[in-house]
């Protein structure tokens, strides 16, 4: 059995991102949402995810922007984030072991919880007419 190593390079990030999103695309529950939203722009999305995770985990600042706005209008609920997190955790554990891999899972969990909370907030506010001009 091969001993797993930690996430330390951009190549590691690419392996994690490519493997994870390959599973997401094929997932019966969340795959259709991602595939419909991203369409034929998967290469562009993956490049953005490489930069995002490289910035977060390796402190190589190649990503700029705000990750939440593209997700604000997605038709998702807590169950979708739970499935996303399940796939992310499983993928990370299959490929890596170490402090940075653990940090990746923690960051993903925090992001999923925050995105879910914010999507619920904006959805509820819009339904209640509390927000007139959402950006």
pLDDT tens, residue order, the chain (135 aa) = 679 999 999 999 999 999 999 999 999 999 999 999 999 999 999 999 999 999 999 999 888 777 776 666 777 889 999 999 999 999 999 999 999 999 999 999 999 999 888 888 877 776 666 545 444
Q: What's the pTM value of the predicted model, to 2 decimals? A: 0.86
Whether residue 99 is contained in a domain is answered as yes
Distance CA 102, CA 7 (A): 10
State whether the Cα torsion 82-74-28-92 is positive or negative: negative
Whether residue 118 is contained in a domain is answered as yes
Whether residue 98 is contained in a domain is answered as yes
CA angle 30, 36, 50 (to 5 degrees): 75
Whether residue 4 is contained in a domain is answered as no
- Per-residue pLDDT at 135: 46
Its domain, for residue 69, covers 10-128
Closest CA to 53 of 123, 4, 101: 101
Distance CA 119, CA 74 (A): 8
Whether residue 133 is contained in a domain is answered as no
Whether residue 92 is contained in a domain is answered as yes
Structure tokens at 55: 């910035």
Closest CA to 74 of 42, 115, 27, 133: 115
Whether residue 134 is contained in a domain is answered as no
Tell whether 45 is in a known binding site: no
Distance CA 55, CA 51 (A): 6
The answer to whether 18 and 50 have CB atoms below 8 angstroms apart is no
CATH number at residue 86: 1.10.490.10
- Per-residue pLDDT at 129: 63
Distance CA 64, CA 56 (A): 11
Whether residue 100 is contained in a domain is answered as yes
The dihedrals phi and psi of 34, each to the nearest 5 degrees, come to -65, -45
Count of structural domains within the chain? 1
């Amino acid at each position: 059995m091969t001993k797993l190593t930690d996430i330390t390079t951009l190549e590691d990030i690419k392996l994690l991102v490519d493997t994870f999103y390959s599973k997401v695309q094929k997932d019966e529950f969340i795959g259709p949402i991602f595939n419909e939203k991203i369409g034929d722009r998967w290469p562009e999305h993956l490049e953005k995810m490489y930069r995002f995770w490289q910035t977060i985990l390796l402190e190589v600042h190649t990503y700029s922007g705000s990750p939440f706005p593209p997700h604000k209008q997605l038709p998702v609920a807590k169950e979708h984030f739970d499935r996303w997190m399940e796939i992310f955790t499983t993928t990370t554990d299959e490929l890596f072991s170490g402090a940075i891999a653990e940090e990746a899972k923690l960051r993903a969990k925090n992001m999923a919880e925050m995105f879910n909370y914010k999507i619920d907030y904006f959805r509820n506010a819009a339904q209640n007419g509390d927000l007139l001009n959402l950006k």
